Structures are given as structure tokens and as C-alpha cells.
Structure 1
Amino acid sequence: MTTEKLYQVNGVELCAQTFGDPGDPAVLLIHGASASMLWWEPELCEQLAARRRFVIRYDQRDTGRSTSYPVGEPGYAMSDLASDAVGLLDALGIDRAHVVAQSMSGGTALFLGLDHPSRVASLTFVSTTTGDDGLPPPSESMPRLGTPDFADHAAVEEYVVRSIEAEAAGHFKEASARALVRADQARARDYEASLTNHYAMAFDSPRNGGFGDLTQPVLVVHGDKDPLLPLPHGEALRDAVPGARLVVMPGMGHGLSAPYWSEFVDALVDHTEER
């Protein structure tokens, strides 16, 4: 594991950290809306690195130590987040990477696969969606959490911890969730911007088509207890991409809970083997 480092990319600063041997196949991890690289836990990254993968996690704009924008005024679109990923690969001297994207960052991965295809060896979509009309809404079990007072750090912490609990579908560890949120708050340039701006950016569309136009190998990983994006979202994504494979994680909620890391690593290592 390297120390965190700031890279100048596309006129912004991006903080990144790597795990493993740079000579191994690169795996670029892109977490979902509002989530810094800390949400890809080091233990998961280390498991992948131990299976001969060079793992890269990073803070997207408005998360962690990367460039932050005024609250509610992000100066970028989703296509810019994809260009940032390419720029980070350039800064690291990596020609092609296996891209793993979670939740809303599935859109960023779609941009990468379509508009920067030479840089993408494969795609893995975790707990994400095509966004098609007619897919089921979040479960009625999802609580409606009011916006916290961002001047009250304890209230903000509680808000994010309770959000994690709601999405975890029973795989929730209070202590580890609270430790993650506190660490996230401590290293963010502006935590209110982190929790706000990804939802306020411009959601543009790739130049070169949609999910059906992807040519890279595609793996879809989805929990059958996902309360935010129920399983039909993952099934729709599999059906939209020719040749895509769906791995359903029984009992998993939204995102990769620790009990599923081993199964996920096995599936990802198989998906990213050179053939």
C-alpha cells in the first residue's frame, strides 16, 4: 500500500492511493455518489492485491482530499469525472485498467467504456442501474432522513451512519460505520459539498451510445436485498449489455458489505484474467 498522493489532473487535484505490484493488471475502483476512496476499505483492496491485481482507489472531485467546489455549484459534469479517471491513469503511467464502479458511478464507467474504450480492459458494475423508466423505486423500508445541520458535526455523522444502516440490509456494523464516517469527515475539504454536489452536477450522455454499445467484458454484481436499487436494476443492466454476466449476492444490500468481499474478489479476479 502506498501513501496517499495528490495528482494534478485536468486542472484539478485528485488524491489517490495504490495497493500491490504496478506490474500486475490494474484495477481502478470508483465509488458512488458522495463517497471518498475510504469507502473502498483497505482490507478489500489488500485482498485484491494479494490476488495479483494492482489496485487504485481515489477521491473523485468533491470527495476526500480532492478538489472541492462551492456547495450546490459543482463546476463539472459526469463526463468530466470520466476524463478525470483517464487523467489519473495517465499520471500513474497505466495504459488500460479494469474499471470497477459502484452505484451512481456506473454512469462514469459507462462514459469510460464508450468514449475512452482503449483505456478500459473490462467493466464491473456494482449495485448500479441502467436508469431506465419502469424499474422499481427504492424499497418502502428505506427511511426518509431529513437534511442535517451541516454546522453540527455530530448530526452529520449520525445522518450518514443511519444512511449506511438503511442500505446495508442487515449487514451493518455500527462501530465500523461510525469510524468510516468520522475518517471521511476529517479528511474532506468540504463535507457538505461531498454530500451535495454529486447530485447537482450535469448528467450528460456519452458520445458513443449506451449500454448496448459497450464492447468490453462486463460483470454485474448486485445484492438481492438492495433496498435502494432493487435487483431488477442489476438484471436490466445485464440484459442491456451483450454478453454481460450477472453475479447475484444473496442477502446483500446496496454496496459491498464485508461478508461478501471474498466472493466478490473471486468473481472479479476471474473476470479480469487475461484470456
Structure 2
Amino acid sequence: MAERMVKSNGIELWTESFGEPGNPPFLLVMGASAQGILWPEELIDLLVAGGHYVIRYDHRDTGQSTSFDFQKNPYTLADLAKDALGVLDAYGIAAAHLVGASLGGMICQLIGILHPERVLSLTVMMSTPLRTGVVETFAQAFQGQATTEALPPPAPRAIEVFMSAATNPPGNLQEAIDYQVKVARAMSGSVAPFDEQECRRTVERIFHRARNPAASANHGLVPSPTREQAEALKNLRVPTLVIHGTDDPMFPPAHGIAAAERIPGARLLMLEGMGHDLPRPLFGEIARAILAHTSAKA
């Protein structure tokens, strides 16, 4: 593995690569407010063993990448997509297999729409179809308001944990760590027992390696996709695999089903008991599915 700071879209992004640069490349795109290190190295090792070169990175406003004052320098989903393409540019990669989790899945969908020539394949994990109003719907749900969208809101356990921070925000670093562990527990599925000790070690690492831990909240201010972007999803012609969990509390299963239905030709893999996370017992199945999906397009 090799860490590297790159210039992308006018900012600095932390990146890390695994495997041989000459092999077919993967770019792993994490979710909202999430650092690239949340892509488990055990899962990455399986992709590398499958003959691929794998890159993960910290989004802007997370980890060791550039942080922003969002009020002075707001940005959009399209800017986050440009960041991802800038990572590929910095590594001299013309096109890659994109794997996106949660918000990362939406970013990857947008790249597939705007720059299909840069995409060998898409894998959209625990995400939702690119659409308008998604941010507003989540804001309503986390404020205890009824939502009007056809797709279901987050599950009660997700709403409860996020509302708890709104009414009683963490007051110091230890409380912030404790809260993030609570969030991770709420996001986990039923496929394996929640490992609090491992989670706490990961959360502590996240806080200690962040340039500005508070900046990650800026991802919640990124506006929803535009109507034009959402409508363009029906024209996406990139080979796509949708992976979703039956126990996902953030994007209930209907979101994964909708993504597979709205992306032309997409295949759906629904994993029993997976939540809004990447559980170790499913690393092998996830890796095999991704490698099978990408092998014919390498």
C-alpha cells in the first residue's frame, strides 16, 4: 500500500493505493462524512488478490483532505464527482471500475452520467437512485417530520440516534467518539454481532487523523441532485451492479431495488442481514460479486 496526497479539482485529497498499478483499476468512493479508511483493508486485499489495482481516498472535508467553510465555499454533488475524477487524473488512469457506498454510490452514478468514458463499470452499494429531494427527505425524517417521498425514510433506530445528537450534542472529544460508536451500532445489521471494541478503535483513528473533525458535517449541506441529473439516470449505459442489505436502516431495501430498476440493465444483489455498513462475514461474498461483475469489462 502507498499513501499519497494529490491535487484534485483545486484542492488536496489524501489517497492510498493497493496492488500493482498496471492491473485494472478500482476507485472506492465512500459515503457522506466518511473517510476513505472505512473501506476495510481485508476487503481491499480480496479485490487486489482478484488482480486489481485499488485506490481509496478521503473526500474533501474528511480525514486528511482539504476542509472548507461551507458558507463561504459551498459545493455540490458534481464537485464531489470532479474530486473523484481528479484522483484518477493524478494516478494517470483514463477509466476505472467505480465502487461507491451510500453517498459514494450517488457520486458514482453521477460520474457514469456525466463522464461514461471514465467508467469501466459501476458498483452501487447501500445507496439510493440519483434523485431530487433526497437531502430534504432526510432532513424531514431526522426532524421527526413526515416525509412525502415514495421511497421509505430511514428506519426508526437511525432516526432516533441522529435526533439524539440534535437534542443533546456531544460536548467534548470523548462524547463525540461515544456518539459515533452509537451511530455505527445503529447502522449495523443482523448478519454479525456488533464489535464495539473494534468500532471504537476505528472511530478514535478517524478523529485523530482528521484535519478538521467538524468539517465532515458539511456533507449534510450538499444539495440534492438536480432534476436534470436525476432524469438522466434513465440514460446511464454503464454496466452496474447494485449491492444492498436487507437490514439497511439508512436506505431501507426499497432504495436498492429502486436503484436497480432505474439504472438500465443493472443487476441487484440483496445481502441478507447486511445493514448500512460493510460487515466482515460478508467480505468474501461482496468481493466475489464485484470481481465477477468487473471481470468481463476489465
Query: TM-score, length-normalised on structure 2?
Result: 0.87
Alpha-carbon shift at residue 158 of structure 1 (Å): 0.8
Q: Distance in 1 between matches of 2:90 and 2:229?
A: 24
Alpha-carbon shift at residue 150 of structure 1 (Å): 5.5
SS at match of 1:136: coil
Map of 1:263 onto structure 2: 285
Q: Where does the alignment leave 5 or more consecutive residues of structure 2 unmatched?
A: 133-148
Alpha-carbon shift at residue 134 of structure 1 (Å): 0.6
Alpha-carbon shift at residue 255 of structure 1 (Å): 2.4
- Which amino acid in structure 2 is aligned with residue 200 of structure 1? L
Alpha-carbon shift at residue 202 of structure 1 (Å): 3.2
Query: TM-score, length-normalised on structure 1?
Result: 0.94
Deviations 1:177-204 (A, max 9, x none): 111111110111111111x100112334
Map of 1:135 onto structure 2: 151
Alpha-carbon shift at residue 70 of structure 1 (Å): 2.5
Count of aligned pairs: 273
Map of 1:112 onto structure 2: 111
Alpha-carbon shift at residue 259 of structure 1 (Å): 1.1
Give me the identity figure in percent: 38
Alpha-carbon shift at residue 140 of structure 1 (Å): 2.1
2:173 is aligned with 1:153: yes
Q: Residues 231-270 of structure 1: matches in 2 within 5 Å?
A: 231-270=253-292
Alpha-carbon shift at residue 77 of structure 1 (Å): 1.0
Given candidates 127, 147, 168, the residue that maps to 2:188 is 168
Map of 1:95 onto structure 2: 94
Alpha-carbon shift at residue 207 of structure 1 (Å): 5.4
Q: Residues 1-275 of structure 1: matches in 2 within 5 Å?
A: 1-2=1-2, 4-70=3-69, 75-130=74-129, 131=131, 133-142=149-158, 143-144=160-161, 145-147=164-166, 149=169, 152-170=172-190, 171=192, 172-194=194-216, 196-205=217-226, 209-275=231-297
Q: Distance in 2 between matches of 1:39 and 1:46?
A: 14
- Which amino acid in structure 1 is aligned with residue 174 of structure 2? A
Q: Distance in 1 between matches of 2:94 and 2:210?
A: 29
Q: Aligned-pair RMSD on alpha carbons? A: 1.8
- Which amino acid in structure 2 is aligned with residue 129 of structure 1? T
Range with bigger deviation, 259-268 or 125-134: 125-134
- Which amino acid in structure 2 is aligned with residue 97 of structure 1? A
Alpha-carbon shift at residue 125 of structure 1 (Å): 0.6
CA contact (8 A) 2:189 2:277 kept: no
Alpha-carbon shift at residue 229 of structure 1 (Å): 1.0
Alpha-carbon shift at residue 211 of structure 1 (Å): 2.1
Alpha-carbon shift at residue 149 of structure 1 (Å): 4.6
Alpha-carbon shift at residue 37 of structure 1 (Å): 0.6
Deviations 1:37-82 (A, max 9, x none): 1110112111111111111100010010000012666531110110
Q: 1:223 to 1:74 in 2, by over 3 A?
A: farther
Q: Distance in 2 between matches of 1:69 and 1:216?
A: 32
Q: 1:55 to 1:102 in 2, by over 3 A?
A: same
SS at match of 1:246: strand
CA contact (8 A) 1:100 1:125 kept: yes
SS at match of 1:216: coil
- Which amino acid in structure 2 is aligned with residue 135 of structure 1? L
